[in-house]
Chain A
């Protein structure tokens, strides 16, 4: 089955990005497909390569990058929400791309299910 994922909160501040990641991992492990993870609202902060958590903490941004690298998951950051919060190509982590909100709606049309993670 094909899942679309919407993430509305930034990393560390809220568990949404963690839960979404665990969901994606579990779905992929079960043989499902993640059509796209769309980062919106403060969720765009999942995409900055400037993130440097303490060494004993999980690296949420790198975890997403790895998911993209290993499973080809399409990680899309909303351009308008990103510009508001200073997330641009210059500080974008590996595996992410910036695009429009149309990509969220498109993923909704194309996916069998859409799951929203947020506050």
Chain B
């Protein structure tokens, strides 16, 4: 995560506004770039002091799988970045239970601590968000 992402200057005073932002991850890593570039948005969002949640559902849960080793495919392994999120005060990571179950995964298979929600709980979480961005 060393690319120049820049542009964090505020054009107007929004210092008092705190919105609930959810970033939705439903795609597996490496096969497409969505997971990596989603993470870049998440890191930038930390600078804005918003109430940020990350949601992992469907193949998105594979983003958090332990043991990713990308040397042979020649791509950057960005999975350690999920562990660094805590340092950016991004601590709300939610995973949908049935998505884990369908993939034969448990929370122990994941690289970070997450909160596992059933589908109805996830529906409630999504419902209370102000801004939902999907990648």
Residues of A in contact with B (beta carbons under 8 Å apart): 6, 8, 40-41, 79-81, 83, 99-106, 108-111, 114, 116, 118
- Cα–Cα distance between A99 and B132 once the two chains are bound (Å): 21
Kindly identify, within residues 1 to 16 of chain B, every residue whose CB is under 8 Å from any CB belonging to chain A: 3-12, 14
For residue B98, CB closer than 8 A to chain A, the reply is no
Of B33, B34, B44, B48, chain A has the most CB atoms within 10 Å of the CB of B44
Inter-subunit contact B7/A103 (CB<8 Å): yes
Inter-subunit contact A99/B3 (CB<8 Å): no
Residues of A within 8 A of B44 (CB): 100-102, 104-105
Inter-subunit contact A102/B135 (CB<8 Å): no
Q: Is the interface of A mostly helix, strand, loop or mixed?
A: helix
**Interface residue from B34, B45, B131 paired with A114 (Cβ < 8 Å):** B131
Q: Is the interface of B mostly helix, strand, loop or mixed?
A: loop
**Interface residue from B4, B10, B33, B135 paired with A106 (Cβ < 8 Å):** B10
Inter-subunit contact A100/B8 (CB<8 Å): yes
Q: Using A105-B45, A105-B50 as known contacts, say yes or no to A100 and B7 having CB atoms under 8 A apart.
A: yes
Q: What is the chain A residue whose CB lies nearest that of B48?
A: A105
Residues of B within 8 A of A118 (CB): 134-135
Q: What is the chain B residue whose CB lies nearest that of A100?
A: B7
CB pairs A–B below 8 angstroms (22 shown):
A8-B135, A79-B7, A80-B3, A80-B37, A83-B3, A83-B4, A99-B6, A100-B4, A100-B7, A100-B8, A100-B44, A101-B40, A102-B6, A102-B48, A103-B7, A104-B41, A104-B133, A105-B41, A105-B45, A105-B47, A106-B10, A109-B19
Inter-subunit contact B37/A81 (CB<8 Å): yes
